[in-house]
Structure 1
Amino acid sequence: MAQQHQKRCNDRHTVGPEYRVVDSVLRFRPRPFIIAATEFHRPWLGQYTIVYRPSANTFVLRGPQRPTAEVVIIHYNHIKPAPCRVLTPSLSLSLVLLIPSPVAQMAEITTLNPLE
């Protein structure tokens, strides 16, 4: 009973983006590795994809670079929406070249008529 009341009160004041499965997010890593210099530390790590949501505040993430890698279970407070990739002219041109254009293909088939 008390736990449910505390949850309702907390949920009333919680603000932030809503995340769905397949959203791209950045993961927060508060401390650098032991051998890394702190001045080069990037606290927000590259794009992850949400693959599962076991509860309202817990997410299971997987990196898109290695889809077979282990997953990361993380709390809502340690993720933020990933910035959208803006298509540069060279990138959009290469994407256009990768998509095959629809072409109607015609083939002529000649057969021998045995009656002639």
Structure 2
Amino acid sequence: MKATIWHNPKCGTSRKTMAILQESPDVDLTVIEYLKNPPTRAKLEQLFSDAGMTPQEGLRVRGSPAEELGLTKNGVKADEILDAMAREPSLINRPLVETDKGVRLCRPQDLVQQIL
């Protein structure tokens, strides 16, 4: 099975999720350090759609400029959040994992089991 993780090596949850993937038999893992190689706006839209979540739910607030940019206020449109994430990848909550079985925001890391 192919799996892709949008990973931040400084994040403990991301490291734990990656370890689960690396220890899973028959997983062909692609690791993308999304702060260095951010997903496109279209890819973000697809990931959130496939995960069954809104961009608001995928917005990282802690440790990001989300509040300063006004992205946490009521009434902010999904398009605004996606555009901001595409410009500033630190706004993307992590880790996102994509397999043939779907996409999950793996917080907590054990959620990755749902798509393995």
TM-score (norm 1): 0.21
Higher strand share: 1
- More relative contact order, 1 or 2 (CA 8 Å, 6+ apart): 2
TM-score (norm 2): 0.21
Higher helix share: 2
Computing the radius of gyration from Cα coordinates, the structure with the larger value is 1
